[in-house]
Structure 1
Amino acid sequence: MRYSNNNMVIVFLVFSLLTVPVLQCAKILTVCLIGGSHYLLLDEISHNFHQHGHEVRMLLQLGNPVITGFSYTGRADSYQTSTWSLGESYIKEYNGWFLEQQTQFLLGRDAFSDFLNFMGHLSYQCDHLLGDREMMAFLQREHYDIAILDAFNPCSFILARKLGVRHVAFYPGPLNGPLSIALPSPLSYVPVFNSQLSDHMDLWGRTKNLLYSLLAPIGQEFVWSRFREVAERHLGADSPPGGLEELYQGAELWAFNTDFSLEFPQPLMPYTVLVGGLLNKPAKPLDQDLESWISGYGEAGFIVVTLGSMVSSVSVDHLLVEMTAGFSQFPLGVIWRYDLERWPSHLDVPPNLRLVDWLPLNDLLGHPKVRLFVTHGGQNSLLQAVYHAVPVLGIPLFGDQFDNVVRAEAKGLGLIIRPTHITRELLSSTIQALTQDSRFKSSALSLSRIHRSYPVPPGLRLIQWVEHILHNAGGSHLRPISLTQPWYQRCLLDTALLFSLLLLGPAALCWALCRRRKSRDKNKKLQ
Structure 2
Amino acid sequence: MAVHRSWLLVSFFLLELLLLEAAKILTISTLGGSHYIVMSRVSQVLHDSGHNVTKLLHETVHIPDSRKEKPSYHVINWHLPEDQQKKLDNRMCLIEEELSNGRFEYHTLVKMYGLYGELCSHLLSRKDIMELLQNENFDLVLLDSLDYCSLLIVEKLGKRFVSFLPLQFSFMDFVLPNPLSYVPVYGSCLTDQMDFWGRVKNFLTFFDFSMKQREIHSQYDSAIQEHFAEGSRPVLSDLLLKAELWFVNSDFALEFARPLFPNTVYVGGLLDKPVQPIPQDLENFISQFGDSGFVLVALGSIVTMHQTKEVLKEMNSAFGHLPQGVLWTCKDSLWPKDVRLAPNVKIMDWLPQTDLLAHPSIRLFVTHGGLNSVNEAIQHGVPMVGIPFFADQPENMVRVEAKKIGVSIQIQKLKAETFALTMKEVIEGKRYKSAAMASKIIRQSHPLTPAQRLVGWIDHILETGGAAHLRPYVFQQPWHEQYLQDVFLFLLGLTLGTLWLCVKVLGAVARYLSGARKVKQT
Give me the TM-score of the superposition, normalised by structure 1: 0.90
Map of 2:59 onto structure 1: 62
Q: Which consecutive unaligned segments of at least 5 residues does structure 1 have?
A: 1-15, 522-527
Deviations 1:444-464 (A, max 9, x none): 000001101111100110111
What are the within-5 Å matches in structure 2 for residues 202-241 of structure 1? 202-236=195-229, 239-241=232-234
For the residues of structure 2 that align with 1:52 and 1:444, how far apart are their CA atoms?
Answer: 31
> Are positions 1:438 and 2:434 aligned together?
no
Cα separation, partners in 2 of 1:509 and 1:97, compared to 1, 3 Å: same
User: What is the alpha-carbon distance in structure 1 between the residues aligned to residue 92 and residue 178 of structure 2?
Assistant: 33
The range that moved more, 200-209 or 98-107, is: 98-107
Distance 1:73 1:469 in 2: 30
1:407 aligns to what? 399
* Structure 2 Cα separation of the partners of residues 20 and 507 of structure 1: 66
Q: Does 2:73 align with 1:74?
A: no
* Residues 273-300 of structure 1: CA deviation (Å, up to 9, x unaligned): 1111111124211111111011111111
Change (3 A) 1:314 1:431: farther
Q: Cα distance, 1:73 vs. partner?
A: 6.2
Are residues 250 and 153 of structure 1, via their aligned partners in 2, closer, same or farther at CA, if it must alter by over 3 Å? same
Taking the aligned partners of 1:146 and 1:390, their CA distance within structure 2 comes to 37
**Stretch of structure 1 that moved more, 183-192 or 171-180:** 171-180
Query: Structure 2: which amino acid aligns with 1:178?
Result: M
Mapping of residues 387-398 of structure 1, within 5 Å: 387-398=379-390
Is the CA contact 1:377–1:395 (under 8 Å) kept in the aligned structure 2?
yes
Deviates more, 1:291-300 or 1:433-442: 291-300
Deviation larger for 81-90 or 506-515 = 506-515
Q: Which residue of 1 aligns with 2:410?
A: 418
- Determine what percentage of the aligned residue pairs are the same residue: 39
Counterpart of 1:165 in 2: which secondary structure? Answer: coil
Deviation for aligned residue 1:219: 1.5
Q: 1:34-113 alignment to 2 at 5 Å?
A: 34-67=31-64, 69-71=65-67, 74-75=70-71, 78-113=72-107
Checking the alignment, whether the CA contact within 8 Å between 2:298 and 2:368 is kept in structure 1 is yes
Q: Which residue of structure 2 aligns with residue 158 of structure 1?
A: 152
CA-to-aligned-CA distance 1:428-458 (integer Å, 9 cap, x gap): 1100100000000000000001101111100
Following superposition, the deviation at residue 472 of structure 1 comes to 0.9
- 1:190-248 CA-partner distances (Å, limit 9, x unpaired): 1111111111111111111111112232122111211123123223257455x122100
Q: 1 CA distance for matches of 2:506 and 2:291?
A: 87
Distance 1:237 1:471 in 2: 35
1:179–1:216 Cα contact (<8 Å) kept: no
Structure 2: give runs of 5+ residues left out of the alignment: 1-13, 515-522
- 1:271-310 equivalent positions in 2, closer than 5 A: 271-310=263-302
CA contact (8 A) 1:179 1:220 kept: no
Distance (Å, rounded) in 2 between the aligned partners of 1:369 and 1:437: 16
Matched, 1:28 2:20: no
SS in 2 for 1:246: helix
Instruction: Report the 3-state secondary structure (helix = DSSP H, G, I; strand = E; otherwise coil) of the residue aligned with 2:363.
Output: strand
- 1:103 CA drift (Å): 3.5
Per-residue deviation, residues 112-163 of structure 1 (Å, max 9, x unmatched): 1111111111111110111100011111100000010011111111101101
Q: Count matched residues.
A: 500
C-alpha displacement of 1:263: 0.7
CA 1:518–1:74: 2 relative to 1, 3 Å: farther
In the TM superposition, residue 513 of structure 1 has moved relative to its aligned partner by: 8.5
Is 1:149 the equivalent of 2:143? yes
* 3-state SS in 1 of match to 2:118: helix
Distance 1:328 1:88, change over 3 A: farther
Q: 2:191 aligns with which of 191, 195, 198?
A: 198
Judged with a 3 Å threshold, the aligned counterparts in structure 2 of structure 1 residues 453 and 21 are, in CA distance, closer, same or farther, namely: closer
Q: Secondary structure at the match of 2:338?
A: coil
Equivalent position of 1:131 in the other structure: 125
Distance 1:515 1:460, change over 3 A: same
Say if 2:108 is the partner of 1:119.
no
Question: What is the letter of the counterpart of residue 70 of structure 2?
Answer: G
The whole-number CA distance in structure 1 between the counterparts of 2:455 and 2:424 is 42
- Rounded to whole Å, the distance in 2 between the matches of 1:357 and 1:467 is 39
**Structure 2 match to 1:464:** 456
Residue 320 of structure 1 corresponds to 312
Q: Is the 8 A contact 2:95 2:112 kept in 1?
A: no
Q: For residues 286 and 20 of structure 2, what CA distance do their matches in structure 1 show?
A: 50
* 1:488 aligns with one of 480, 487, 506: 480
Query: 1:476 and 2:471 equivalent?
Result: no
Deviation of 1:90 (Å) = 3.6
Which of 331-340 and 499-508 deviates more? 499-508
1:337 aligns with 2:334: no
SS in 2 for 1:229: helix
Q: CA deviation at 1:373?
A: 0.6
Q: For residues 274-329 of structure 1, what are the alpha-carbon distances to aligned partners after superposition, in whole Å with 9 as ceiling and x for unaligned? A: 11111112421111111101111111111111111332235322222211111111
Measure, in 2, the Cα distance between the counterparts of 1:156 and 1:449. Answer: 36
Deviations 1:340-387 (A, max 9, x none): 222111111111111111111000101111111111111110010000
Contact 1:385 1:391 in 2 (8 A): yes
The answer on whether the counterparts of 2:101 and 2:307 sit within 8 Å (CA) in structure 1 is no
**Alignment RMSD (CA, Å):** 2.3
SS class of match (2:253): coil
Counterpart contact for 2:143–2:161, Cα < 8 Å: yes
Aligned position for 2:247: 255
For residues 98 and 306 of structure 1, the distance between their equivalents in structure 2, rounded to whole angstroms, comes to: 22
